Structure 1
């Protein structure tokens, strides 16, 4: 073989024909930044750099680019990121219509670019939704507003739904211990995150039934029953424990409840919502029928939604704040108004001291001043001797001071009555009876 005889150069698998092995590479190697050289940028107003590293004239004077196959293939990544010049993008797209392998690679790169922008975390400021809604409603009031007494339920269910969207599949089976108060002591029941949502779905169904909606327990279960009975029935309806699939029915029911009360208007707040009947002690006749007007039932459901959302957040180590002060005030007000009736029920069961002789003599009876500090704070006078008596400062025999969130935790059965009150003054027996009556407001 002579010096002028050369073997045929090897074929490039990506390029038809052959190439000169002494040809300079089409894709330049990485180089230092212009800012690092200390020199001013070149003054070339008629030129600009393309993604391939070539100098290209301005678009209005640019002839069509004729690029080789391997150069076009190297531009696919820049094209997928929309980093090519207009001429390069046109050349790449024309090439994709003729080259099947490059078209498949371009499709894969475009799909990969979509994965560079994952969904943002849902762990947002709990007050963000309220602020956005307040701003929107201030600009354009809704045609069909949500009644004021239903807003806490709307807000608390939305906050819980945001928490549920942000937890993983395995966390739906995290253990949760539900706590409430019976008699003179705390009881508890172990379930899962999914079991808690099933509990809320079953009990919220009582409000849905009063509004004419379908019962989540199914046909034949529409007779009013105690919330605990409804929950047990729902849990036992399937041999398998609840899963994250329960979130959909629960969320749909909350939306339907809010939508229905909004269309019904503020006047629907007087609609009775039965909560079943508490059995009476033997020999004392029929049990006590529990019933709340819809406006109070919605606040009650908002309160339980928040309490159980806090239970879930504790189980999955998720930060969770109390409701807004305005909503918390409504919850505290409902609990304070229910205290005289609950205290009377404990007296009938022998769990509280009997009323004083003042009632028998026709006097209005004694009062306890309940002072709530902090979030949702205020002052309430609790009738001690008769649920229907007028309570006033003139008849005050005791004073109890509590933090707003701490009082709600007491009413939920999460805090012992003995440890709840931050400040106490006056009749110790009356204070004890009221604190234990507050804990007795809780239930499964």
Structure 2
């Protein structure tokens, strides 16, 4: 560093100020005769102690400095002080940096100011990410409701849908226009084989809008497809019809607003209706669900497809919280006997075993879901009952909650599910394939 002996710090510790030996260059001198230019400006030179040798004249600057003529002495104190902010931000040129740092070795007040500015600049660069946590809205709402409950709270069976749509909304708000056209691969099972369909982020949101519209129509709200014939109510057919409309499968971010407004309307309607709408039937093509289960189904699909979108745009995405995940796993477990019966009617599973005598409980399979949101369920194998009993348990399957949800979403093949298995192999295979058949477009 120019003018600084080797080994000294760039900003030395405080010491006696330069003004202790005379006025600073930008301080007006006392009135008196002018004898020509001096080291400290125009006016009287400072008195030197008796017997002290005269100070040598400063060498001309080897480079130009803004506001200073070429070849002149170091710029005045006020000029160097005005450069401290730019120096702290590393915005000075190499020449200005050298002059400022040389000045800091001679001026204690500027050295102190430089330290304060450098610390302030450090506060302008936080180490943490500025991305909002997708769960921030849920935590804020939980904190607010914990202090004063809402006059009309969201029903418990609708809270997973509320949370998952809020998370997906946060993800969509954080995306750029180009990312709306990013390719997204949708996967599900039909029969015994996996099926794939490639669409875009906008196409996925259109799919969610079309299928959510089934719940909206059942609650007396506007259907995004308009007047839909009775034989056109299945999720797949509705989605294809929606993609063929003016909305389009590849329409960019304009798909976001209608989907979010529809989800808000569904949550408001469920909150105001409460128990009166909980059992309203929602047709899903060849089967139906009450509104309370339809909201869980929509929450599950919103989470799964939000994960598909997050993978497509390389964005981190978290699973539902434990209480919500348990509700979603419980819905899938309760639907397994119905799915198994549907596969039998289609000739994809062996027929149920006849009971020896009337009143004898049928066989059951113990489904153990481990981890966050897990639990134990006993699946009826010989009747379409929602749940069986423990008396004739013939098989046991153990899966992680995330693995079970990926199986039910059609993202994991039944033969590849990482499951602990014990008991009748045929019963285990049929339940695993029934779980995969819960998936759909």
- TM-score normalized with structure 2 length: 0.70
Q: Residues 386, 164 of structure 1: CA spacing in aligned structure 2 closer, same or farther, 3 A cutoff?
A: same
Which of 195, 204, 209 is the matching residue for 1:187? 195
2:297 matched residue in structure 1: 300
CA deviations on 1:281-326 (whole Å, 9 max, x unpaired) are xxxxxxxxx1100000000000000000000000000000111111
Matches within 5 A, 1:161-180: 161-180=169-188
Distance 2:18 2:11 in 1: 7
In the alignment, structure 1 segments of 5+ residues that lack a partner are: 1-32, 44-52, 56-73, 78-115, 278-289
1:442 matched residue in structure 2: 439
2:273 matched residue in structure 1: 264
When the two chains are superposed, the root-mean-square deviation of aligned CA atoms in Å is 2.9
Q: CA deviation at 1:125?
A: 2.7
CA deviations on 1:265-289 (whole Å, 9 max, x unpaired) are 2332111111123xxxxxxxxxxxx
Q: Residues 390, 178 of structure 1: CA spacing in aligned structure 2 closer, same or farther, 3 A cutoff?
A: closer
Distance 2:163 2:233 in 1: 27
Instruction: Say yes or no: does 1:251 pair with 2:260.
Output: yes
Which of 367, 389, 392 is the matching residue for 2:389? 392
Q: Residues 179, 40 of structure 1: CA spacing in aligned structure 2 closer, same or farther, 3 A cutoff?
A: same
Distance 2:320 2:19 in 1: 61
Secondary structure of 1:199's counterpart equals helix
Which of 165, 171, 177 is the matching residue for 1:157? 165
* Contact 1:180/1:442 (<8 A) preserved: yes
Which of 209, 217, 226 is the matching residue for 2:225? 217
Secondary structure of 2:213's counterpart equals helix
1:228 matched residue in structure 2: 236
Which of 374, 379, 382 is the matching residue for 1:377? 374
Matches within 5 A, 1:263-412: 263-277=272-286, 290-358=287-355, 361-388=358-385, 391-412=388-409
Distance 1:160 1:413 in 2: 20
Q: CA deviation at 1:221?
A: 5.8
Q: Residues 210, 347 of structure 1: CA spacing in aligned structure 2 closer, same or farther, 3 A cutoff?
A: same
Q: Residues 231, 240 of structure 1: CA spacing in aligned structure 2 closer, same or farther, 3 A cutoff?
A: closer
Q: CA deviation at 1:375?
A: 1.1
Secondary structure of 1:432's counterpart equals helix
Q: CA deviation at 1:356?
A: 1.1
Q: Residues 141, 355 of structure 1: CA spacing in aligned structure 2 closer, same or farther, 3 A cutoff?
A: same
Q: CA deviation at 1:39?
A: 3.5
Q: Residues 222, 215 of structure 1: CA spacing in aligned structure 2 closer, same or farther, 3 A cutoff?
A: farther
Q: Residues 415, 240 of structure 1: CA spacing in aligned structure 2 closer, same or farther, 3 A cutoff?
A: closer
Q: CA deviation at 1:137?
A: 0.7
Distance 1:368 1:233 in 2: 39
Distance 2:18 2:218 in 1: 76
2:150 matched residue in structure 1: 142
Which of 393, 414, 419 is the matching residue for 1:417? 414
* Contact 1:224/1:274 (<8 A) preserved: no
Q: Residues 217, 360 of structure 1: CA spacing in aligned structure 2 closer, same or farther, 3 A cutoff?
A: farther
Distance 2:277 2:401 in 1: 29
Q: CA deviation at 1:127?
A: 3.2
CA deviations on 1:210-241 (whole Å, 9 max, x unpaired) are 11111111345687610001100010113673
Secondary structure of 1:394's counterpart equals coil
Count of matched residue positions in the alignment of Structure 1 and Structure 2:
334
Distance 1:257 1:292 in 2: 16
Larger radius of gyration: 2
Distance 2:312 2:295 in 1: 26
Distance 1:195 1:240 in 2: 4
1:39 matched residue in structure 2: 16
* Contact 2:206/2:249 (<8 A) preserved: no
Q: CA deviation at 1:42?
A: 9.3
Distance 1:309 1:240 in 2: 17
Q: CA deviation at 1:390?
A: 5.6
In the alignment, structure 2 segments of 5+ residues that lack a partner are: 1-9, 21-25, 29-78, 83-123
* Contact 2:219/2:277 (<8 A) preserved: no
Secondary structure of 2:285's counterpart equals strand
CA deviations on 1:151-206 (whole Å, 9 max, x unpaired) are 00000000001000111111100100100000101001110000000000000001
Deviates more, 1:218-227 or 1:295-304: 218-227
- TM-score normalized with structure 1 length: 0.70
